[in-house]
Chains A and B, each alone.
Chain A
Amino acid sequence: MKHALAILLLTVATPALANKVYVTNEKGNDVTVIDGDTLEVLGSYPVGNRPRGITISPDGTELYVCASDDNLVRVFDPGTMQETHTLPSGPDPELFVLHPSGNPLYIANEDDNLVTVVDTKAHKVLAEIPVGVEPEGMGVSPDGKVVINTSETTNMAHFIDTDSFEITANVLVDSRPRFAQFSDDGSRLFVSSEIGGTVSVIDPASQQITRTIRFEIPGVLPEAIQPVGVRVTADGKKIFVALGPANRVAVVDGDTLEVTDYILVGQRVWQLAFTPDQKHLYTTNGNSNDVTVIDVATNTAVKSIPVGQQPWGVVVAPN
């Protein structure tokens, strides 16, 4: 009996290894936590006012949330969802990116035309970098040497040297750039343009646009196609692009850069996050108040999970 119970307890305890999924709800002022194995909601936790950008430390011990209306970054224990401390962020932090080593954090301040660099260990500002008007998208190269910031009004991707905190190059992209994402090998940079309706493919070495990906969906008016979140599989074979109010996620072939699929997910699909094994991709759907789980191998939506009010950002805990 004792053995049976012990085994039972151990078996029950194993799913603790499951990767948890964290979703910020911009209007609900909370984070919904989802069990990545069962796809069930574990709970929702208040995280401050107007949470948008969300990321997690590489070791999975610190969860960072941009509390946009609190003008700071709140840091949580991902296990208990208790706030441990806050980080200074500058006004109206929207989106940020963590250095691959876990420190520092680069934050876009939309109202101040700055990128704020924050030491996640010392909890202090290391630098404030003036960029274009309405900075928004943030990306970091896999080697951590370059941070990309996109400015919505200036329509540029700024290349920032992470040693000198200086802008080393500016690339003009299409209207209202939203998001910047490197391929895992660092050879390509993808920048989405919400109003332009495109994704620019940039060679980071020459800082030249090598290709512009366009989207056309039968039965959808072009103005509804507004690319935002971008994710690239580790092997570079597939690029997923969230198309906002088109309610679709485009799948782009990494070799030909042609769109192969438009997956219907939820309303106003915004940001994307892979599970560590890259079997699943989570999408936040701001107007249908849910997230969609996409099967990466088959390009199909396998489940939609209701979360809080106006889901915005998503991150999956690392292994």
Chain B
Amino acid sequence: MRHLLILVMLAAVPARAATPTPDWPCVQPRQSHLSLGQVWTGPPPPEGAAETPEIAALAERVVQRRMPIEEATAAIDAFAQGKDAETLALLMQAIFHRIDMQRTAILGGISRYGHRQVALAARVEARRARMAELEAADPPDFDAIDAEEEALDWDMRVFSDRQQSLTYVCETPVILEQRLFALGRALAAHLTQ
């Protein structure tokens, strides 16, 4: 058990020291929510102003990760022509809310992932104990030992595959943050004009 837990903890080389836990198995520091000011220095969006259908539609499109960032930037450039700073701020807010919501959902998923790994580690340990018992029995039940061994192999394999994916899983919030920042930068370029 202890070995597997250590493996969970040391999944990736720490980039910035954060202590991984089942709730947050990543080495990246957990930041529950982003803030608009991390990506935007333009005016705040007007109080109570609602998204127009045009803004909502554009925000939906550009936050999709499958859209190359160059295309998203071009779409923002096209929209921004002749728009005032408040309208740009509204689009920024619309993009921000969507990406922060996606990101929050992913943080929840990472937490579930961490707990599943810990549960799997516990199961592997239980199977090992059972194996030891079976092997110690006299006479040994070789069929039972074979079955337990196979189950243990599978669990170990799933565990280590998931552990390897953890590096990528933990990068996902950062990838969303990078997209948000790039979109913010594209939009901010129209503020000074």
Q: A residues engaging B (CB < 8 A)? A: 26-27, 50, 69, 134, 152, 217-221, 223-224, 245-247, 262, 264, 266-267, 287-288, 304, 310
Which residues from chain A contact B185 at a C-beta distance below 8 Å? 304
Apart from the given pairs A219-B44, A224-B31, 9 other A-B contacts in the complex at a CB distance below 8 Å = A26-B15, A50-B13, A220-B35, A224-B35, A245-B29, A245-B38, A267-B181, A288-B181, A310-B15
CB pair B31 A245 closer than 8 Å: yes
Q: Does B41 reach chain A (CB closer than 8 Å)?
A: yes
Query: In residues 147-183 of chain B, which contact A (Cβ within 8 Å)?
Result: 174, 177-178, 181-182
> Cα distance A310–B174 when bound, in Å?
12
Which residues from chain A contact B13 at a C-beta distance below 8 Å? 50, 69
B176–chain A nearest beta-carbon distance, Å: 11
Q: Does B36 reach chain A (CB closer than 8 Å)?
A: yes
Considering the complex, give the chain B residue whose CB is closest to the CB of A246.
B38
Q: Does B67 reach chain A (CB closer than 8 Å)?
A: no
Which residues from chain A contact B177 at a C-beta distance below 8 Å? 267, 287
Which residues from chain A contact B40 at a C-beta distance below 8 Å? 219, 264
18 A–B contacts, CB within 8 A, in A order: A69-B13, A152-B17, A217-B37, A219-B44, A220-B37, A220-B38, A221-B33, A221-B35, A223-B32, A224-B34, A245-B29, A245-B38, A246-B37, A264-B39, A267-B38, A287-B177, A287-B178, A310-B15
> Cα distance A267–B176 when bound, in Å?
12
Which residues from chain A contact B31 at a C-beta distance below 8 Å? 223-224, 245
> Cα distance A219–B32 when bound, in Å?
15
A167–chain B nearest beta-carbon distance, Å: 23
Closest 8 CB pairs of A and B: A219-B37, A220-B37, A220-B35, A221-B35, A264-B41, A219-B36, A247-B38, A267-B181
Dominant secondary structure of chain B at its interface with chain A = loop
Considering the complex, give the chain B residue whose CB is closest to the CB of A289.
B178
Q: B residues engaging A (CB < 8 A)? A: 13, 15, 17, 29, 31-41, 44, 174, 177-178, 181-182, 185, 188
B188–chain A nearest beta-carbon distance, Å: 8
Checking A50, A219, A288, A304 against B35 with a beta-carbon cut-off of 8 angstroms, the contacting residue is: A219
Which residues from chain B contact A219 at a C-beta distance below 8 Å? 35-37, 40, 44
Which residues from chain A contact B15 at a C-beta distance below 8 Å? 26-27, 310
Dominant secondary structure of chain A at its interface with chain B = loop
Checking B17, B38, B181 against A224 with a beta-carbon cut-off of 8 angstroms, the contacting residue is: B38
B141–chain A nearest beta-carbon distance, Å: 47
A305–chain B nearest beta-carbon distance, Å: 13
Which residues from chain B contact A152 at a C-beta distance below 8 Å? 17
Interface centre among A218, A221, A266 (most CB of B within 10 A): A221
Which residues from chain B contact A218 at a C-beta distance below 8 Å? 37, 44
Which residues from chain A contact B34 at a C-beta distance below 8 Å? 224
> Cα distance A127–B188 when bound, in Å?
51
Considering the complex, give the chain B residue whose CB is closest to the CB of A27.
B15
B107–chain A nearest beta-carbon distance, Å: 14
> Cα distance A223–B31 when bound, in Å?
8
CB pair B181 A266 closer than 8 Å: yes
> Cα distance A271–B34 when bound, in Å?
22
CB pair A288 B178 closer than 8 Å: yes
CB pair B39 A247 closer than 8 Å: yes
> Cα distance A217–B35 when bound, in Å?
10
Interface centre among B29, B33, B40 (most CB of A within 10 A): B29
CB pair A287 B174 closer than 8 Å: yes
> Cα distance A152–B33 when bound, in Å?
25
> Cα distance A217–B36 when bound, in Å?
11
Considering the complex, give the chain A residue whose CB is closest to the CB of B41.
A264
CB pair A247 B181 closer than 8 Å: yes
Considering the complex, give the chain B residue whose CB is closest to the CB of A152.
B17
> Cα distance A69–B40 when bound, in Å?
36
Which residues from chain B contact A287 at a C-beta distance below 8 Å? 174, 177-178, 181
Considering the complex, give the chain B residue whose CB is closest to the CB of A176.
B17
> Cα distance A246–B38 when bound, in Å?
5
A99–chain B nearest beta-carbon distance, Å: 28
A75–chain B nearest beta-carbon distance, Å: 24
Considering the complex, give the chain B residue whose CB is closest to the CB of A219.
B37
> Cα distance A220–B38 when bound, in Å?
6
B152–chain A nearest beta-carbon distance, Å: 33
Which residues from chain B contact A264 at a C-beta distance below 8 Å? 39-41, 188
B86–chain A nearest beta-carbon distance, Å: 15
A228–chain B nearest beta-carbon distance, Å: 10
Considering the complex, give the chain B residue whose CB is closest to the CB of A217.
B37
Which residues from chain B contact A50 at a C-beta distance below 8 Å? 13
> Cα distance A76–B190 when bound, in Å?
42
